[in-house]
Structures are given as C-alpha cells and as structure tokens.
Chains A and B, each alone.
Chain A
Amino acid sequence: MLGKLMKYELKATARTLIPLYIALLTFAIINKIFIGTGLANKLDGFGSIPFILSIFGYGCTMAAVFIVTFFVIIQRFYKNLLGDEGYLMNTLPVTTITNLTSKLSIATFWNIISGFVAILSILIMAFNPDAFSSFFQDLFKGLSEGYSEVGIQIYLIIIEVILIVLIYLLKSLTMIYASISIGHLFSKHRILSAFGAFMGLSFITGAISTGIAIAISFMGKNQNLFHQHLDTSSSMLAVHTFLICVILYNLVFFTAYFMITNYILKNKLNLE
C-alpha cells in the first residue's frame, strides 16, 4: 500500500516539478552557450538583451525551483489530506502512518532532487574542463590526506554528515506537517493557526536547543571535557559522539513531530 501511495504522490507532484527542473537546466545550458562561445562579451547594447534575459530567467527559475518545491510539499499535505481530497485519502484502507510516510518520503525525495538539479545547473554554467579536473584532484587529495590522518573514519564522518542533513530535512518537513495539522484543529482561520503553530514549534525547538547548548557549555567549563583530549583517536571519538548526538537530537524532534501529526490526523480529523 505504501508503494502505491508513493506512486500516486510522485505522479501528482512530478507534473509540476519536472518541467521546472527542465526549465532550470535549459536556462543553464543557454547561459553556458552564451558564456562559453564568448557571445556574452561580443554583443553590445541591444544584442546583449537576450543574454541578460537568459540570466534573469535562470535566476527566477532557480528561485522558483525552491519556492515551488516548498509550496508543492505544503499543498500536497494540506489539500490532499485535509481538503476535499481528504474524503478519499482518509477512507482508503491504509493507516495514517502509511499516508504520512508516503507524503514525507516523496517530499524528501523532491528536496534532494531539487538540490541536485540546482547544483547541476551551476556546474553546467561553470563548466570548465581545467577547473573541473583540478577540483577533482583537490578533492581526492583532501580525501587521501584525511584518510592518512584518521583512516577509514573519514568516510564514516562523511556518512554521518549526510545523515545529519537527511535527518534535518526530515525534521523540518515533519515540523511543517505538524504545524499544518495543529492549524487543522481550529475550525476557523486554519491557515493562520498553522503559521502560528509553526512559529510556536520553531520557538520551542530553538529554546530547547539553546538550553542544551548552554547546559553543555557549562558542563564543559566545569569538567574541562574538551581540553583533555588532544590526541587524534579520542578527538575522533569526540567528533563522532558530537555528530551522532546531533543526529539523535534531530531524530527525537522528528519523532515528536511525526507523532503529533499522526495523532491529529488519526483522532482529530475534522473535514469540512
């Protein structure tokens, strides 16, 4: 069932997003052509208008990619689960968790894709064979230096960082979903309440984070935790511990927001 939901979720969102991604890449290619063939430098006055338009178009499309992705994610949740379509979606023989998971997974997917497409478009425009190969050379050099210093752990750290980005993404998405769900609890001014809930949740998250940060710095001061470990292996342990704590910390928030959203959708649903 989850797979089927994800399939339809993908179909519903791809129609809007894929054309946008293609447009972005197209602008990137056009700009590349202008830059690469030196046309940009040669054309003056009116002749440079197409180029300017193209850059402008690229800029707008880039902004659009992120804005539209954001709105599509919100709209899918709000309209499909809490709007008229909710009469269909919430009477399907699937659990609320399944419905939520399908929305969340596809939203995450598009976020990652839009990131890749954005980077790809920049790469296209900035493509320069020399710069490219020197970039990769530096990359490998950096990696092998890192490897020689800390061994296999360099890859572990890379994985942890990727996980952090992922879990942070999931946390943000579920926070948005939770806000919209809390807004749904009110019978009037639902959208306004959702914003309010979002502010509220952000504030709470921020407050807790700050609180923990202050607590850690106090502890650290008192116990000289950080000054003791200067040699490589235990500082690596500290780094790992830190990264994993960040992951777990975000995981807790993610779980909380997910559970809030699920509870509201399951027990407090009230479609008009």
Chain B
Amino acid sequence: MNNDENKLLSDSAENDSTSNYTNSNVDNIPILECKNLFKTFANAEALKGIDLTIKRGRIVGLLGPNGSGKSTLIKLANGLLTPSSGEILIAGNKPGIETKKIVSYLPERTYLNDWMKVSDIINFFNDFYDNFNPKRAYEMLQKLNINPDDKLKTMSKGTKEKVQLILVMSRDADLYLLDEPIAGVDPAARDYILNTIITNYNENATIIISTHLISDIERILDDVVFISYGKIFLTKSVDEIRETEGKSVDTLFREVFKC
C-alpha cells in the first residue's frame, strides 16, 4: 500500500470479449486523460500532478476521503474549473463545447430550478443536448413512480436526486461523471440506480463514479482509482485487487485510509 502508481489502467476485458467493439479509431483515444494535472486554489493545492488514463467501456470508481480532490478532478473534466497547469483531455479534446456535448454530469447538488415541472426540465435537456433520449427518461420516471407533471419544488430531496440521475442517464453520452449518485437515496432506489447503470452500459462509453459507499457499488466496477491529498494513490482493476490482496476493495480502502 504504497507508492504512487500512475499507470495505465489495464484494459483486460478488451482481450477477452467477443467483439462488440466498433471498429473506429475512436476507441484508441482514451476517453479521459490527465497529464501532470495541477489545480491550486487560493488556500490549497487540490490536485498535485495527476497522471491518469481511462479508456472507453469501463465503469470506474473514483475513491478517496473528503478533500482528496475527487470533486476537483470531476469539475476539471466537465469544464467547471480550469487547470492551474498540466492538461486534461476528454476524448483528446480540451474541455469546451465539444466535450460538454459528450459528457453527462451528475453533481452532488440539486441543480434544477424549482419552478419547473419535471416535463419542463425534460424539454430543457432535449433542447440543449442532441443525445438526450426523452423516451428513456419517461420510462425511468414511471418505474420510480414520479409524475412528470409534478413541480420540482413539491418534491423531496431524494426524489429530486432521482430525477437528476434519470436526466443524466437518459443521455447517450461518451463519459458519465456521477458524483455520489446513491448517497441520499433509499436502498430500493439504490438497487434500481445501480441496475440502470448496468443496463445503460455500452462499450463506447465510460462511467466514472465518485463515492464513499464502496461496498454497494464494488460489484459493478471494472476499475478503481484511489485518490488521496490530490495525488493518485493507486489504479487497479477490482479483480486484480481481489486476486493480489485477497480482500475486497471496500476492505482495502478502509485499511489504506484508516483515520
């Protein structure tokens, strides 16, 4: 439990799977790449030289204690922050309009304006994102018993979070950035959300989940990235960790980040 492993996440699945990959060169460009990425704020260095490469078709867990730089990294990826130095690239491009089209972001906060109805916000997303699928959104709303004609301000926080998640997963994005997607949600909905992530999975897209609730999501992760004090601590696949350490990612995390 050791050194800074800034290596490429091994994409072992690529060798085994029977061929659902498209043939385009697009697959060879990592969906997310950080090169010596630094982000400094007035009072703190949030990220100190991050090197990371994540390929398409992976479900990745971004794990670390509070203040480790998880949120900062995610905000850099969706253009809400600009790097102090170094580079961050989405499918080879710097964050901008082109990357925002293919990145679907779920923040920890509620970002919906209260006066709208659910159907209004669906129209909003449909207006601005070409790859938004309203039909999928309405199906998911129905499964979770949310009435599209309800106004957002009449909903509980948990329901609003579900709506946000549905909106985010209804986009056919290339990169999904989910910041604590299951934290404020009841266990039944949690299962539904994890299930949604699995069934929406496609080999062309990558999902990065930043969370504390590791044991719940460990089974759906391909790879994990441990981040601590602004540096990458390790990047490994879940299988590798279980094989080499003989313990679950959750257990390893607790050991590594013991207070």
Contacts and interface: CB of A to CB of B under 8 A. Distances in A.
Indicate yes or no for A touching B, C-beta below 8 A: yes
Interface of A: 1, 4, 8, 12, 15, 80, 84-88, 90-95, 187, 266-271
B112 A12 contact: no
B100 interface: yes
B80 A8 contact: no
Contacts of A12: 113, 115
A266 B95 CA distance: 11
Contact of A95 (B43, B97, B105): B97
Interface string B92-124: 000001101101010101111101000000001
B103 A91 contact: yes
A80 B114 CA distance: 12
Contacts of A267: 82
A3 to B, nearest CB: 10
B175 to A, nearest CB: 12
B53 interface: no
A271 B127 contact: no
A197 to B, nearest CB: 17
A187 B42 contact: yes
Helix, strand, loop or mixed for chain A's interface?
Answer: loop
Contacts of A1: 128
B124 A91 contact: no
Interface in B206-237: none
B155 interface: no
A15 B116 CA distance: 11
Contacts, number: 54
B81 interface: yes
8 contacts: A4-B128, A84-B109, A87-B109, A88-B111, A91-B80, A91-B103, A93-B98, A271-B75
Contacts of A271: 75, 80
Given A91-B100, A91-B105, A93-B100, A269 B113 contact: no
B41 interface: yes
Contact of A93 (B42, B82, B97, B111): B97
B78 interface: yes
B129 interface: yes
B79 interface: yes
Contacts of A15: 115
A264 to B, nearest CB: 11
Interface of B: 41-43, 75, 78-82, 97-98, 100-101, 103, 105, 107, 109-113, 115, 124, 127-129
Q: Which of A1, A80, A88, A269 has the most CB of B within 10 A?
A: A88
Contacts of B43: 187
A92 B104 CA distance: 10
B97 A8 contact: no
A270 B111 CA distance: 15
B78 A88 contact: no
Nearest to B43: A187
A87 B115 contact: no
B41 A270 contact: yes
A201 to B, nearest CB: 22
Given A12-B115, A85-B111, A90 B128 contact: no
Contacts of B78: 91
A269 B80 contact: yes
Contact of B80 (A4, A87, A93, A95): A87
B110 A90 contact: no
A88 B103 contact: no
Nearest to B97: A93
Contacts of B105: 87, 91
Contact of A92 (B75, B82, B112, B128): B128
Nearest to B115: A15
Nearest to B130: A93
Nearest to B107: A87
B129 to A, nearest CB: 7
B80 A90 contact: yes
Nearest to B123: A8
Given A84-B109, A84-B110, A87-B111, A8 B100 contact: no
A8 B109 contact: no
Given A269-B80, A269-B81, A93 B128 contact: yes
